[in-house]
Amino acid sequence: MERKIVIATMNDHKVREIKSLIGDRYNVLTQDYFSIPSVPETGTTFEENALIKANQVAEKTDLLTLADDSGLEVDLLNGEPGIYSSRYAGPNATDDENNQKLIKELESYKGEKMTARFHSVIAIVEPSQNKQRIFHGTWEGRIKLDQKGKNGFGYDPLFYIDDLGATAAELTELQKNRLSHRASAMRAAINYLVRKTEYVK
């Protein structure tokens, strides 16, 4: 029987990244395939938002559903932008607008080490088994106020990894899919899915 999984996101970048991590283990569908509109992120944590999205899409499709909620946590900003990462500069902000706002917020800290991390939470909901699971992944680095690199999306051009001497936006897709917060969370999620294939519709 064909194994199907629905990705609960409207973000094409995330869909592409998650699809490449899942590979050919499942027939990967998106909520757009079912004409499901964007699910409001009304939670106060990554976990809550991931579960809200996964549960709503699973309810409408009755299929195994995976949702990711992720963002950037900057220590000097007490964890901001956090759950507001995709809308830091406003509800319909572009990646560049969010990056510019972050740069502005951190300008007064020039000269200090701006430690930060990307944090990803993957929620998997199995309607047929009435089960839900949560998986975490983090990626440690720091913020450099000069944007570099053309790959990736979001805050990648500002997120610098000392061990690599590069920003996330300067890495290849292969490198990012090995090292990133989402890759870490997805590895744990995929390990779970591989063990649970008998439950997949």
Which phi and psi (to 5°) does residue 197 adopt? Answer: -60, -25
Contact in structure between 166 and 2 (CB atoms under 8 Å)? no
Distance of CA 126 to the CA centre of its chain: 20
Q: How far apart are CA 106 and CA 76, in angstroms?
A: 8
Q: For 30-108, where are the alpha helices, taking DSSP H only?
A: 46-61, 95-106
The catalytic residue among 24, 68, 69, 75 is 69
Contact in structure between 124 and 54 (CB atoms under 8 Å)? yes
Active site residue 69: yes
Catalytic sites, residue numbers: 69
